[in-house]
Amino acid sequence: MALWNPWHGCHKLSVGCRLCYVYRGDAKRGIDSSIVTQTKTFDLPTRKNRKGEYKIVSGTEVATCFTSDFFVEDADIWRQEAWQMIRERSDLTFLMITKRIDRFHLCLPDDWGDGYENVTICCTVENQDRADYRLPIYLNAPIKHKIIICEPILESIDLTSYLDASIEQVVVGGESGNGATTCNYDWVLTLRNLCAERKISFWFKQTGAKFMKDGQLYNIRRHFQHSQARKAGINILEPKRKK
């Protein structure tokens, strides 16, 4: 996987942004995360080597805008050029995660139609309130590939009404950082079992810093939060790209 951050910085939007890892990392370097700036790697997907070949090889998945939000208002002036690069590199698959699905319709290229085949747009929901607000918009949006991200999961979330045939995967993860909300394993299992019923891929990504299982609270160091989630052995299937 390649990482492409065409711009950096964002504005905290909802409770799921409270302990944002970008803000935490920037604070250590004295950077103001609320200022959105174009990065030096803005044109990364179309950069070529001395032989005239693309530096990112064909078939690579590109994690896009992971230190910002692709649909943040401040990036409106750059986004159409970013879409142009995504369109040019139709041989790559671009994965982006947003809390701003309500801005999606304002940010599309003219030729979007029912979506680009090489773009997966993931919608983040951290609690039931944000699920009930964002997911109806998301389900009606013309997007070829859809993944629901419940990370950080801050309470039990009922996705029963939202897991239709357009959803390819559900990802769940706890909250990291000092003062993190406890992730209850029961919340994770409920979503996992619902995905199993609907035959939808499920990925338990990380436990978070505080993890409750069978009434026992565990404080888990950042280094082990992903590996401990894997040890649960509850992931289902592989994400299937729907045509």
pLDDT in tens, 100-145: 999 999 999 999 999 999 999 999 999 999 999 999 999 999 999 9
Nearest residue to 97 via CA among 15, 17, 215: 17
pLDDT, position 237: 79
Grade residue 241 by pLDDT with cuts at 50, 70 and 90.
Answer: low
d(CA 169, CA 30): 36
SS3 category, 168: strand
Burial class (CB in 10 A: 0-12, 13-18, 19+), 116: buried
- Mean per-residue pLDDT over the chain, rounded: 96
Give the count of beta carbons closer than 10 Å to the beta carbon of residue 44. Answer: 20
pLDDT, position 13: 97
% pLDDT > 70, the chain: 98
Grade residue 238 by pLDDT with cuts at 50, 70 and 90.
Answer: confident
DSSP code of residue 131: H
d(CA 211, CA 231): 14
Nearest residue to 88 via CA among 44, 33, 126: 44
- 2-11 pLDDT, tens digit per residue, is 999 999 999 9
- 183-232 pLDDT, tens digit per residue, is 999 999 999 999 999 999 999 999 999 999 999 999 999 999 999 999 99
Q: Is the pLDDT of residue 45 over 90?
A: yes
